Each structure stands twice: as C-alpha cells, then as structure tokens.
Amino acid sequence: MKQINNNNLFLRLAIEASIEAGKKIIEIYETDFNVDYKSDQSPLTLADQEANNIICRYIEKTGIPILSEEGKHLPFDIRKNWKQLWIVDPLDGTKEFVKKNGEFTVNIALVENNQPILGVIFCPVLKILYFADQTIGGAYRVELNDDWTKKKHDIDEIMELGVKLPQKSENKNIVVAASRSHLSEETKDFITEVEEKYGKIEYISKGSSLKLCMIAEGKADIYPRFAPTSEWDTAAGQAIVENAGGEVLIHTTNEPVSYNKENILNPWFIAIAKNAKKIIEL
C-alpha cells in the first residue's frame, strides 16, 4: 500500500467501523430477533440500528456530515452545500438478513463533489471485506479469518492482505449479476436483449451490494438495475467498481451515477466490469 495520507486515514476508519458493525450484526443474526417494518414496508431490525450507531461513532470523528439510511435525513437545502459526505447503509440487504441467507453487507462510502471516492463493503457471514480509495491505487478484497469476531484487528495488516481487483476472469460466456429480491420486468427485458445480441449468458444471483462486488471482482460482466435503489445502496459499491476499472452508468445518459442529489433515489443504471467494457455496448 502507499504511504498513509488523510484519505487513507478515512479508509482505515471506515474499514474498522465496518468490521465492528459486522460483529454486532452477527451477534444479533444468531438470535431470534424481531422484525419491524418502515412506512414503505421495508424491514427494520435491531441490527440495522445498532450497526448504524457503531458506524456513526467512528466516522463522525472526521467532522464530515453523514447521510445514512437509518439516520436523520436533513433537507436538501442543507445537504446541497456539502462538498464531502459519508453515505452509509449499516445493513444492506435486510431482507436477506431476515431470510438468514447471509447475503447482506455493511456499506460505507465517502463522496466528494457528488462522486464516491472511497468505498468499504463488508459481508459478515462470508467474512469478506472489499475496499477502495483513489489514493491507494485500486480496489481490494480480503477474506478475514474464522475468528474475526473474537479479536481486535490491525487495520494496516488487513489492508496489506488485500488482493487487487479485478482478478483474472474465467468467464466463457457473458455473466449477468441479478438481484435476488428485486428483479423487475424491465431488467428481465434488458437481459433478454443482451442474450439475443451476444448469445448464451450466465447468471449470478446475489443480494445487497454483493452484485457490485461481483462486478469489481470480474466474476460478473454486467449488472443492470432497472428497479429502485437509494444512494446508500450503491455509493460504496460504485467506488469499488470504479477503482477496479469498471463503471456504474445511468442507463439513459451513460454518465456515472451521482450522489447527494435532492432525490436520493438512483436512476436506472448498469454496472460494467473492467474486462467487459470492450464487449458490451450499452
């Protein structure tokens, strides 16, 4: 890794926050937890709330404002003046958490001038950490030891174990990443068009931001998302994809998805892996 500078300190803080939040999430995951529902009928658990508290305790030390799914959402008249902000989803994939299939993540991103420049995604059940930052020259993947919940971690040591992404792709056919819980008809139609144009395709079905991680790794070539997502669902993943050489583009304009918008819902987008950009024409 490169010499630590200010943004690297932010990255180390975000990594530590994600792992500590993951410990609490696993603790609750292994119990018979209760499930509440928000006004939009999306599930909410104690794990969402406790993880949010832990993450905010870490990153609020930076003095940079926070936009979190489980936090207070300030009006755009205030947010529009933020040049930097943290965007957090303390438990992305709560539906997967409730189903106990393990496909949920902790998402932490640092956004500057409406673009994500740093991203951390941690999957507690898989014990896999993804992180990226412009100052370290790429995106990385680390698999933690089985006893990760029982010890205090040396963040520098974790970063040094990072494997740079993308890894060599073994894909023979085009691989499409698809949502496990939110596959819309429009997304299905797009996938059909890809198949008609490029021939046989394969699928990877994942919950939460793991689909973007598959793009960053090169295990999937494209991830079309023609269904609602919010900024906290994608900011960290976009930072990781982009630092791995890929793109996350608005379907109608081919411009990168932007953040800290007045409407925190994302437009429809397509994520493309580094090695797929030559073969996929949007």
Nearest Cα to Cα of residue 129 among 268, 16, 270, 276: 16
Domain borders along the chain are: 6-165, 174-276
Which tokens sit at 163? 């494997």
Q: Give tens-digit pLDDT for 188-199.
A: 888 888 888 888
Which pLDDT tens digit goes with each residue over 104-150? 999 999 999 999 999 999 999 999 999 999 888 899 999 999 999 98
For residue 166, whether the previous peptide bond is cis, meaning omega lies within 30 degrees of 0, is: yes
DSSP 3: P
Under 8 Å CB-to-CB from 28, ≥6 apart: which residues? 45, 46, 47, 50
- Give me 266's structure tokens: 């994302």
pLDDT average, residue stretch 97-101? 93
- pLDDT given at position 92: 96
Tell me the pLDDT band of 7, cut-offs 50, 70 and 90: low
Task: Give pLDDT, residue 257.
Answer: 98
| Residue 167 pLDDT class (50, 70, 90 cuts) | confident
Q: Is the pLDDT of residue 4 over 70?
A: no
Cβ atoms of 114 and 238 within 8 Å: the answer is no
Average per-residue pLDDT for the chain: 91
Place of tokens 């295990």: 219
Q: What whole-number distance in Å separates Cα of residue 126 and Cα of residue 8?
A: 25
Comparing 58-67, 95-104, 107-116, 170-179, the range with the smallest average pLDDT is 170-179
Give 3's pLDDT tier (boundaries 50, 70, 90): very low
Q: If pLDDT is split at 50, 70 and 90, which confidence band does 2 have?
A: very low
Q: Does domain 6-165 have CATH number 3.30.540.10?
A: yes
pLDDT digits (tens, 9 = 90+) for 171-181: 788 999 987 66
**pLDDT tens, position by position, 205-219:** 888 999 999 999 999
pLDDT of residue 72: 86
Backbone angles phi, psi at 140, to 5 degrees: -140, 155
Contacts of 115 (CB under 8 A, 6+ apart): 256, 258, 259
Is the pLDDT at 15 greater than 80? The verdict is yes
For residue 98, give both structure tokens: 């409730």
Q: Which CATH architecture has domain 174-276?
A: 3-Layer(aba) Sandwich (3.40)
